Amino acid sequence: MLNMKKTIIALTILALASTGFAQATKKLELVVPTQQMVGTPVPIKLDNLEAKTPNPKPDVPVDVENVAKNKNVTSSDDFPLIGELSLITDGDKAGAEGCFVELMNGLQWVQIDLEKETEIFAIALWMFHSQERAYKDVIIQISNDEDFKTGVQTIFNSDHDNSSGLGKGTDKAWVQTNEGKLIVLPSPLKAKYVRVFSNGNTTNDTNHFIEIEVYGR
């Protein structure tokens, strides 16, 4: 009888594991700022623009959190035109001046140091959402190499014509709103650094970042 009970318990554990109940999960839903639209809209003209769609709400393990909060940020532009790089991970996603960083024209990147190798499930971006626009050649890469010379993995690439020289991507550009953009990895990947590129936008040639969230554990 004891052996039968042990067998039943073991089979129950295996059944739970196979159906996904062995690990508790939660819905990943972004906390979004209030919409603040100002100025006269400028026509958005891009060949690879996606239709406006709600962000996904994937299931992730319950211990997944924004591991980028207050982490150190560096950039290809050592002297931003507006703002400080620390704004990118300070948790403030509002679109008003004083909440975003503006980098110079052309291809630029910002990089977050997660401080240790981290299992990454999703990344969320807020760029400039006080006016409808789309940013060009948004590319997200991760690596354990601070200089991104080895072990680089690209998890998003909207550069449809390789104009940035980092390879042609198949992802779509999107219209900026207060909802941000949640990019869910098909399966978790591990890395210490996250680098995000952009190459101007449909309103002007500068680059803007409000907030980047990295959901991992």
Residue pLDDT, tens place only, 149-177: 999 999 999 999 999 999 999 999 999 99
- If phi > 0 it is left, if psi is from -120 to 50 it is alpha, else beta; for residue 186 that is alpha
Q: What is the mean pLDDT of each run of 10 residues along the chain (217 residues)?
A: 50 48 87 81 89 95 98 95 96 86 96 98 95 95 98 98 96 96 98 98 95 98
Q: So what's the pLDDT on residue 3?
A: 54
CA distance 206 to 77: 11
Q: So what's the pLDDT on residue 22?
A: 59
Q: So what's the pLDDT on residue 109?
A: 98
CATH number of 25-216: 2.60.120.260
Rounded (10°) CA dihedral 42, 47, 49, 51 = 100
The pTM (predicted TM-score) of the whole model is 0.87
Q: So what's the pLDDT on residue 57?
A: 97
Residue 24 DSSP label: -
Boundaries of every domain in the chain: 25-216
CA distance 86 to 120: 21
